Amino acid sequence: MTTTGSCMCGNIRYQFTGEPAVTALCHCVDCQKWTGSAFTSNAVVPRTAFEVTQGTPSSYDVVGASGKINKHFFCSNCGSSLYTELEVMPDMTCVKAGGLDGGAANLSNKIGIEFYVKDRSQYLKPCDGAKQEPQFG
């Protein structure tokens, strides 16, 4: 199974194969700032299963709460948030699910875990069945 995605303007396209290892929401302030939204939704996939198939994303490094680098990849033309590579998770890519094609953005309506629920907006409720982490793991 191959899942494809793109930025809003279509300059950057990417794909991953197989099912995500985990589906995760992150409510941290960096995710809010980066996306202009209340949280990020993520398909966390092995880096070996992920590839950019068109264009070259720009990236921006932020030092996370761990003290390690969180690398944020985005489209320099339209500004869409695409995916992150966390130094603390060197084998995984966190694909921002909003960019996924064909309805896959909803992550099959199954969220495995929520991070930084301490920063979750009060108008949101915990997802059914999702592990709740106050911060990151």
Cβ closer to Zn ion: 7 or 107? Answer: 7
Q: Which residue, 28 or 45, has its beta carbon nearer to Zn ion?
A: 28
Q: Is residue 9 close enough to count as binding Zn ion by CB under 5 A? A: yes
Q: What SS3 class is residue 1?
A: coil
| Torsion region of 102: left, alpha or beta (phi above 0 gives left; psi -120 to 50 gives alpha) | left
Residue 10 near residue 100, CB atoms below 8 Å: no
Per CB under 5 A, 86 contacts Zn ion: no
Q: Determine, following the binding rule CB under 5 A, whether residue 97 of this chain makes contact with Zn ion.
A: no
Total residues interacting with Zn ion, rule: CB under 5 A: 9
State the amino acid at position 52 in one-letter form. V
What are the residues binding Zn ion (CB under 5 A)?
A: 7, 9, 11, 26, 28, 31, 75, 77-78
